[in-house]
Amino acid sequence: MRLFICEFITGGGLQDKELPDGLAREGNMMLEAVLTDLLQTGITDIITTRDDRLDELSLPVKQTAINGDIYSCWQSCMDDADAVLIIAPESENVLFNLTLMAERSDCYLLGSSSGSVQMNSSKLSTANLLHKNNITCIETSALEDKTVDESQNGWVIKPDDGVGAEDCYFCADRDELDELISSINTENFVIQEYVPGIPASLSMICHQGKTQLLACNKQMFSFDPDSPTAKGELQGLVVNGMLEKWDMFNTVAQNIARADTGLWGYIGVDLIVTEAGAVVVEINPRLTTSYVGLRRSLSLNPAELILSIWQNGVMPEVNKKDFIPVNLQLEEANVV
């Protein structure tokens, strides 16, 4: 059995552009984590691509040379594999287009459907889905069409298809908001009322409307007070750092899986934990950085859980009694 792991950032997706150190480091973290886990399941035939500006991987996987157009190279890898796992951003339809490529190939897609990816790539569409299914989420509106309501807590401005803290800004008052709006192209931005609480995320695996919660994560996320527009930044996270909220997070996970049956495999969900409960920020239909600390936190192999869904068609169960918090610092790219 041959698996193709398509990691966009480190695999050549930016071959004609600048390769930022932070993105490359985070991409490497996720790629090496999932490759290590897959190799430990006993799979030996794994292929990936590699940006030639980066050092070769030290793991025993085939690193395919990039000749010409990267998408043609990825298509060839998909055609040559039994299954593909895609690690890519939702922005600019990157994840959606790669998912479509996989669906049109003969290989099995170890990920969510293109319809689910397309919907969850838009914060507006995601919010509409959550509202429709009575799942508590942040109120989200298109910035260019919105007469901004007053807010006691301020506003968050971000791209509709943004990833993580990318171009995410906090405005505490109307003057700051007006200044930011005048400085950006509002066409693809959304505005959300700032919700005070604990930044968090959950990690789960999904299959046909069913889910197994794997982790309740605490995020070290903040808006930089020294930035004129208080730009958001994720410094790190604690995988299963909020185990005491398991029941709350599990309810959210179950509701989301039922609402979007196209979700498959590993899924990340960003949340704000408030005194009133969990508020969903966005759904990430792909591997997220939290995956890097999962194996140590769970004391089991998360890739094996994903493969078991593919091979057995049933949702595996886990026992959280042995789960431990794992601190993941993004700047140093290490797990402690």
The boundaries of every CATH 3.30.470.20 domain in the chain are 198-220+233-335
Angstrom distances, CA of residue 267 to CA of 143, 205, 262, 333: 27, 6, 11, 21
Q: Which of 59, 24, 14, 87 is nearest to 306 (CA)?
A: 87
Rounded to 5°, angle at Cα 114 from 110 and 120: 100
| pLDDT the model gives residue 65 | 80
Q: How far is CA 172 from the centre of its chain?
A: 27
Q: Give the CATH number of domain 2-110; options: 3.40.605.10, 3.40.50.11770, 3.40.50.2300, 3.60.40.10.
A: 3.40.50.11770
The boundaries of every CATH 3.40.50.11770 domain in the chain are 2-110
| pLDDT the model gives residue 330 | 78
Q: How many angstroms separate the CA atoms of 293 and 289, rounded?
A: 8
Residue 189 is encoded by which pair of tokens?
């931005």
CATH 3.40.1710.10, applies to 198-220+233-335: no
Each residue of 119-133: b (16+ CB within 10 Å) or e? Answer: bbbbbeebbebbeee
On the 0-12 / 13-18 / 19+ scale of CB atoms within 10 A, 98 is buried
| pLDDT the model gives residue 145 | 60
**Cβ neighbours of residue 82 closer than 8 Å, sequence gap 6 or more:** 1, 2, 3, 107, 108
- Partnered with residue 195 across adjacent β-strands are none
Sign for the pseudo-dihedral over CA of 178, 281, 18, 330: positive
| pLDDT the model gives residue 283 | 98
Decide if 107 contacts 79 (C-beta within 8 A). Answer: yes
Q: How far is CA 289 from the centre of its chain?
A: 7
Q: Which residue has the tokens 């990267």?
A: 70
Pairing of β 326-329 and β 232-239: antiparallel
Q: How many angstroms separate the CA atoms of 76 and 83, rounded?
A: 13
Q: How many angstroms separate the CA atoms of 259 and 96, rounded?
A: 19
Q: Which residue has the tokens 């914060």?
A: 123
- Grouped pLDDT means (10 residues each) for the chain, 336 residues: 97 93 93 98 97 95 90 96 98 97 96 98 97 97 75 89 83 88 87 94 98 97 64 86 98 99 98 97 97 97 97 93 93 45
Concatenated DSSP letters of 159-200: ETT--TTTT-EEE-SHHHHHHHHHHS-GGGEEEEE---SEEE
